[in-house]
Amino acid sequence: MIEISKVSKLFNPGTVDEKIALIGINLKLNPGDFITVIGSNGAGKSTLMNIISGVMKPDTGDVSIDGRVITQQPEHRRARWIGRVFQDPMAGTAPNMTIEENMAMAYKRGQARGFQIGVTKARRAIFKEQLAKLGIGLENRFKAKVGLLSGGERQALSLLMSTFTKPQILLLDEHTAALDPARAELITSLTETLVREMSLTTLMVTHNMEQAIKLGNRLIMMDKGRIILDVDAKQKKDLTVERLLGEFERISGRKLADDRVVLG
């Protein structure tokens, strides 16, 4: 179980450029929760992800996993619990290394890396089985350098790499936003399948309202560093894009301003 309590984060504190990224955020993810996160520009969605993954440390408040406070732990140490997929399809894989080498690095997520050979016969069998799940033929291209794959293929590989070792929490930061509609569709359905099969606790930031409504069992809406709406599975069933936009206006008193928002 992941808990974020009273987390605040300021950028450039005390200067004219001071910006409140997060202010007093409380969020509790129950095991198996799949939460989609939406919000306007600068609402603090990415900062929330960065605070959980340890890229940034909060000014106040704590992050804990299974009751263990991990607020002060560096990014690489938290990796044993956290799987991540970035928006940039290039960010989640090493381009000059082969598919199997990338898989081998993901296989050791959060463990000590010693002098054992990375790609062994036994491990290769595991990788093959996992890659086959993607259904895009990567299992037959073990020795191909990842840099030769298309953006969609790389993102599919990133997604597999961060999930197949069953992290306690999976963070998806607009991981379909940089892809064309067909590829985005593929990655979305893969996400759904992988998360369901392994019942991963997931937090997904998206700009696609329809996707936010369709996926997951819970939806939160953020604005100006706060969580302004938390919709559970039951309410989520009757939710539409219009009602969601209406809710935003009602609570924040203005229209949802997001230059990248996709209504569906």
Please name every residue paired with 2 in a beta bridge, in sequence order, or none if there are none. Answer: 29, 65
Nearest-5° angle of CA 102, CA 211, CA 185? 50
Q: Among residues 9, 45, 84, 175, which is the contact residue for another protein, using CB under 8 A?
A: 84
Is the CB of residue 194 less than 8 Å from the CB of residue 228? no
CB of 60 to another protein, least distance (A): 25
Nearest-5° angle of CA 22, CA 28, CA 30? 150
Query: Binding segment for another protein among 110-118, 184-192, 229-237, 239-247 (CB under 8 A)?
Result: 110-118
Q: Which amino acid is at 38?
A: I
Q: Among residues 12, 68, 96, 182, which is the contact residue for another protein, using CB under 8 A?
A: 96
Q: Is 121 among the residues that bind another protein (CB under 8 A)?
A: no
Q: How far apart are CA 78 and CA 80, in angstroms?
A: 5
Q: Is 68 among the residues that bind another protein (CB under 8 A)?
A: no
Query: Binding segment for another protein among 25-33, 104-112, 180-188, 254-262 (CB under 8 A)?
Result: 104-112
Q: Is 177 among the residues that bind another protein (CB under 8 A)?
A: no
User: What would you measure as the largest C-alpha separation in the chain, in angstroms?
Assistant: 60
Q: Among residues 94, 125, 251, 263, which is the contact residue for another protein, using CB under 8 A?
A: 94
Q: Is 116 among the residues that bind another protein (CB under 8 A)?
A: yes
DSSP 257: -
Residue ranges in 46-65 that form contacts with another protein under rule CB under 8 A: 53
Q: Is 93 among the residues that bind another protein (CB under 8 A)?
A: yes
Query: Binding segment for another protein among 9-17, 117-125, 129-137, 176-184 (CB under 8 A)?
Result: 117-125
Task: Tell me the number of residues near another protein by CB under 8 A.
Answer: 35
Contacts of 230 (CB under 8 A, 6+ apart): 218, 219, 220, 221
Q: Is 79 among the residues that bind another protein (CB under 8 A)?
A: yes
Q: How far apart are CA 213 and CA 75, in angstroms?
A: 30
Residue ranges in 198-257 that form contacts with another protein under rule CB under 8 A: none
> How distant, in Å, are the alpha carbons of 6, 25, 32, 100 from that of 60?
7, 10, 27, 41
Q: Read out DSSP for 54-78?
A: TSS--SEEEEEETTEE-TTS-HHHH
Q: Is 119 among the residues that bind another protein (CB under 8 A)?
A: yes
- Taking residue 152's Cβ as centre, other Cβ atoms within 10 Å add up to 20
- Taking residue 118's Cβ as centre, other Cβ atoms within 10 Å add up to 14
Query: Binding segment for another protein among 8-16, 41-49, 73-81, 218-226 (CB under 8 A)?
Result: 73-81
Q: How far apart are CA 232 and CA 191, in angstroms?
A: 20
Q: Is 173 among the residues that bind another protein (CB under 8 A)?
A: no
Q: Scanning the structure block, which residue is given the tokens 């005390």? A: 14
Residue ranges in 143-172 that form contacts with another protein under rule CB under 8 A: 161-162
**Closer residue to another protein, CB minimum distance, 84 or 207:** 84
- Using CB under 8 A, list all residues that contact another protein: 53, 74-77, 79-80, 82, 84, 86, 90-97, 101, 104-106, 108-111, 113-119, 161-162
